[in-house]
Amino acid sequence: MAKVMREKGVELIRLQFTDINGFIKCVEVPAERLEDALESGICFDLSSIQGGARTEESDARLFPDASTFCILPYHPTTARMICDVSGHDLKPFPGDPRLILKKMVQKASDQGFKFNVGPEVEFFIFKQQNGAYEFLDHGGYFDNVIKDMASDIRAEIIRYLRGFNITCEAGHHEVSPSQHEIDIKYNDAVTTADNAVTLKETIRIVAGSHGLLATFMPKPREGINGSGMHVHQSLWSKEGKNLFYDGSDTYKLSKLAKYYIGGQLAYIDEMIAVLAPTINSYKRLIPGFEAPNLKCWGSLNRSALIRVPQFTPGKESSTRLELRCPDPTANPYLAFAVMLEAGLRGIEEKIEPPLPIEKDAFKLSPEEVEKYHISALPGSLGDALRAMEKGSVVKKVLGQYAYNKFYETKHAEWVEFRKTVHHWERDMYLERF
């Protein structure tokens, strides 16, 4: 590593980690401090980080993961490494999202499972004009927007991802104007969470270099489809067998996979605050915009909360489940961790999923809703936080320290929103009453 840095003329190392919300934080050190960083970590002040330690416990250390070393493709004199955080006592910091996911992955491993995930990250690219953010293009699903720069920007992002050794499965224009999607290849959960954070940063940097704004806000404009982060999931044996596959089943799903579905549907209410963690998230999760808010599953049904992608003969290893309610404001480390816990509980508790639905869930009759035992997700961040409080999944996964920090952050956001008088309210009520 040191030899590569000398040969490539690397001058700085950017040591990265995320706060409780998934925002990247970093400390930059000269390249000469590489050995110090790897052997004894780099000290920093944790008290000013969202979800960080108290002032009297603020001394912390970043321990870089050598496997994440990469020279930044857009800044070739700087390398980056993703770090784990230790507290002032040199013990793993309980508020570190990456370590929280690592613990869940270890729990699955102890049960004989390897957890693979692959996210589809949607986002908008806006241009600033006359003090407002405007659409960059007016394309639709899979459109090739030749007259605008959107296609070139996606291509540039994908080229940079190669520099991070991140494999892109696909990139394309999404349904809404100026909306795009980039999918990254499935991998183990920790590596994929690292890659998802890197992807989001790269998207922002490339858009910014063109004088544009890339945003992962789920619903930046009313009346159009919002941005999600559909997450494909599968459990594998340590011998490399996909444990979700069963060729004798109609859906080609094993009993274990169906219990996993049952667990995620059973516990979705109490983990949705982690998967859709902003006020704005719930303006995406409404009927009519391809955003599932009804708790059901199926194969061809894209209104389902959990979709089973269609099976391709000879592709048994690709058998997987797609959870469609998360959005890209979620911290991927925490999101993958709670998803895994809910699925494992389904397996442990042998939770049978409800009957699958292969029709538009939003067009079901009241009798069909009762037949399929369908209910809706919480309708606001406030409702989601109340469901999280009543449940045990997030508390178990995050631990008391990180749970309290997450709840405090999100509750403060909800309180601030409730106190604010919005333009819609003035337009609706000011002159009427």
Residues recognised as catalytic = 45, 120, 122, 174, 181, 230, 302, 322, 324
| Structural domain boundaries in the chain | 2-90, 102-423
Q: What's the half-sphere exposure (Cβ side, CA atoms, 13 Å) at 30?
A: 2
Q: Looking at residue 370, what is its pLDDT?
A: 78
**Cα 228 from Cα 235, distance rounded (Å):** 23
CA-nearest of 163, 169, 232 to 198 is 163
Per-residue pLDDT tens listing for the chain (433 residues):
777 878 888 899 999 999 999 999 989 999 888 888 888 888 887 776 765 554 445 678 899 999 999 999 999 899 999 999 998 778 899 999 999 999 999 999 999 999 999 999 999 999 988 878 888 887 777 666 655 677 788 889 999 999 999 999 988 888 899 899 999 999 999 999 999 999 999 999 999 999 999 999 999 999 999 999 999 999 999 999 999 999 899 899 999 999 999 999 999 999 999 999 999 999 999 877 778 888 999 987 778 899 998 887 878 888 999 999 999 999 999 999 999 999 999 999 999 999 888 887 777 777 887 777 788 899 999 999 999 999 999 999 999 999 999 999 999 999 999 999 999 999 999 999 9
CA-nearest of 168, 166, 143 to 155 is 168
pTM over 0.75? The answer is yes
221: exposed, middle or buried (Cβ count in 10 Å: 0-12, 13-18, 19+)? middle
Asked whether 232 and 320 are in contact (CB, 8 A), the reply is yes
Q: Looking at residue 409, what is its pLDDT?
A: 95
263 phi/psi in degrees, rounded to 5: -65, -45
- The domain covering 102-423 belongs, at the CATH homologous superfamily level, to Glutamine synthetase/guanido kinase, catalytic domain (3.30.590.10)
CA-nearest of 83, 90, 78, 80 to 64 is 83
Work out the angle at residue 327's Cα, subtended by the Cα atoms of residues 141 and 114, and round it to the nearest 5 degrees. 105
Secondary structure element (H or E) that encloses residue 237, with its range: none
Q: Look up residue 44 and give its two tokens.
A: 């920093």
Q: Looking at residue 56, what is its pLDDT?
A: 42
Q: Looking at residue 364, what is its pLDDT?
A: 77
234 phi/psi in degrees, rounded to 5: -155, 155
Architecture of the domain defined by 2-90: Roll (3.10)
CA-nearest of 143, 211, 131 to 177 is 143
Asked whether 46 and 84 are in contact (CB, 8 A), the reply is no
Q: Looking at residue 55, what is its pLDDT?
A: 44
Asked whether 338 and 402 are in contact (CB, 8 A), the reply is no
CA-nearest of 255, 250, 367, 378 to 325 is 378
Question: What's the sign of the alpha-carbon dihedral 391, 383, 386, 51?
Answer: positive
